[in-house]
Each structure stands twice: as C-alpha cells, then as structure tokens.
Amino acid sequence: MSPVASLFDRIAKFAKSPQGQRAIQQATQKAQQFAKDPKNRAKIDQVRAKLQGGGGKGLR
C-alpha cells in the first residue's frame, strides 16, 4: 500500500470515529458562524466572484 493510500485510510477511519465526528461537527459550526458575519460574508462573495470569472481577471 502506498503512503498516500495509507494516509487517506487513516483519515477516513478517523472521520468515521466518534472523535472525528465531533471534530467535523465543530468545524462545521465554526464555518457557519464565520460565514454569518457580514464582513466575512463580503470576503467570501468576492472570492467566489473571482473564481467564477465575475471579478475581472480572476485566477489564471
């Protein structure tokens, strides 16, 4: 088994564990709180517009 496959297996196993589920839930809650802040929401929208080609030159 390659080192990369082993790493992904370990990550998947952790994500399915109760501890991993708690970590995922906490990260999700933090992301939602971050996105609710109007200043952060504006930054998110700017990045989204750039990535979708609506922000001028965008990323190339």
pLDDT tens digit sequence for 14-60:
999 999 999 999 999 999 999 899 999 999 899 999 999 865 554 54
Note the pLDDT of residue 18: 97
**pTM for this entry:** 0.58
CA angle 17, 21, 25 (to 5 degrees): 170
The predicted model gives 6-14 an average pLDDT of 94
Note the pLDDT of residue 46: 93
Whole-angstrom Cα distance, residue 16 to residue 31?
20
